[in-house]
Amino acid sequence: MVVAGVIRDSGGRILVTRRPEGRHMAGLWEFPGGKVHPHEHPEQALIRELREELGVDAAVVAPVTFGVHDERDRRIVLLFYEARITSGEPEALDGQEIRWVTPIELGGLSTPPADARLILMLQQERPAGSS
């Protein structure tokens, strides 16, 4: 199982990271997060991963959706959570690129197949304060 966070800045942009060369799905943009360790709750895993990969403390706000990606030898289940940074500025501590993008810009990035449903959901959201 894998967890990932939808983290927004004050302008509504979303934080994405690009998988480094030499890694599975290298070059694809994704929501930050990682694998859940045995006996670890998904929310705890997301907080740990954000600290390890980006050097930030975060709070998990709520579950958003899930995604599934089948490969020849495995099935990857991703749990997506709305999260917020409580302290620190994101830094690339794991060799990845970091970018803040609008929901519309997400559609122009190369992303893992399991992220497609979440990206569509984010693009269809109404901005805060709109009627």
**Res 76: pLDDT:** 86
Token duo for residue 23: 């890694």
pTM above 0.85, yes or no: yes
What is the tens place of the pLDDT at every residue in 39-95? 999 999 999 999 999 999 999 999 999 998 888 888 889 999 999 999 999 999 988
Token duo for residue 13: 């942009």
Distances (CA, A) of 111 to 30, 65, 82, 89, 115: 6, 16, 18, 23, 7
Superfamily in which the 2-124 domain is placed by CATH = Nucleoside Triphosphate Pyrophosphohydrolase (3.90.79.10)
DSSP bridge pairs for 81: 5, 63
**Res 95: pLDDT:** 87
Confidence of residue 128 (pLDDT cuts 50, 70, 90): low
**Res 62: pLDDT:** 97
- What is the mean pLDDT of the segment spanning 117-122? 94
pLDDT over 80 (residue 33): yes
**Res 130: pLDDT:** 52
SS3 sequence of the chain: CEEEEEEECCCCCEEEEECCCCCCCCCCEECCEEECCCCCCHHHHHHHHHHHHHCCEEEEEEEEEEEEEECCCCEEEEEEEEEEEEECCCCCCCCCEEEEECHHHHCCCCCCHHHHHHHHHHHHCCCCCCC
